[in-house]
Every structure is written in C-alpha cells, then in structure tokens.
Structure 1
C-alpha cells in the first residue's frame, strides 16, 4: 500500500468527478448546463466527468481551478491520487514481483 494518510487506509479511492458532483456543485447555485458553458466544455463532457467515465485532464484541471477559485493542482492531484490508488490495487501482484534495490 502506498505511503500516505493513515486515515485513508482501507477506504476506496475517490474519483474527482464524485467530489465535484457531491461536494462542489451542490455549493454553487448554477445548473450543470451553465457550469459546462462556463468551463467551455460540452454538457456531455461534464456529465462524463461527474459520472466518473472520464478523468480530470490537465486542461480540465485548469478550467475547474479557475471556475471554482481553487487551483489546477488541486484537481490534478485528486486525479493523480485516484489513478495511483486504483492502479496499485490492480497491479499488486506485478508490483510484488519487483525486487527493490537499495538507493
């Protein structure tokens, strides 16, 4: 298991689209169509992100950071953490077969 926050141990990784859908969008008084328009993306692109069918790309991270006043790094880091935690599980056997070297 990756080194990280011990409070997160055993919890499934959270896709940034779920955070956007569950935490961010309910706090803004805008319909999803307007959010998509302000982001400069199609409604389908936004819905795919919210449904966790698409990742947060660097371009989308820049858009989301600008729209919601946080940062592109916030969104990119959420996606990176999700990807690493998801891959770590699916690659467990492959990773276990790699013999580490001392640095």
Structure 2
C-alpha cells in the first residue's frame, strides 16, 4: 500500500469573444481554497528535458494597473524567499529583495 497522496489545483478562466480573460477563479481543496476569485496568476513549471521554464501568465481585462504593480512587487519578494529556502543563497535572495524595494520605491507602492 502506498503512502502517496494526489492533490489537485484547478484554475477556471472565463474568456470573452476575443479569448481575453474576463473572470478567473481557483480551487485547491487541500489548501482550503474553494473557487476563490482572482484577477491574475502566474504559473511556472520546469521542463527538465529542455532545461527551461514554461510559463502561463494571465490577468483579467479589468485588473487595475496599480494592483498589477503590487502583484509583481509581492511576487518578487516571494521569489526571493522561495529562492533562499530552495538554495540557501541568502546573498542573492537579498539582492532580489533589494530589487523589489527599488521597484516599490519607483512606483511608490509602500506608503509611509
């Protein structure tokens, strides 16, 4: 008998006639997410054979630009944290955090 568990994350996308996302939601039962609406997502998967990242980046047409800037800023911070956990490369992760701070400063994302 196997001790493995299979889990699933589902992303539902409603498209307009031009195939532009109008509405998106995601469902992750093991994480307690039940068809939660979202305006953007980024998915990257590693192709071991080609040694490259395959990506899907989508956002709804009503995603405000100011929210997109915040989304990217928080993604940079998340990437830095994940990179440090995965590689133990604290210095490079801190460089990514520095860039995220620069990005936030340029767009005045962090109100004082």
TM over 0.5: same fold?
no
Q: Name which structure has the greater RCO, CA cutoff 8 Å, separation 6+.
A: 1
**TM-score after normalising by structure 2:** 0.30
**TM-score after normalising by structure 1:** 0.32
Structure number with bigger Rg? 2
Instruction: Say which structure is richer in helix.
Output: 1
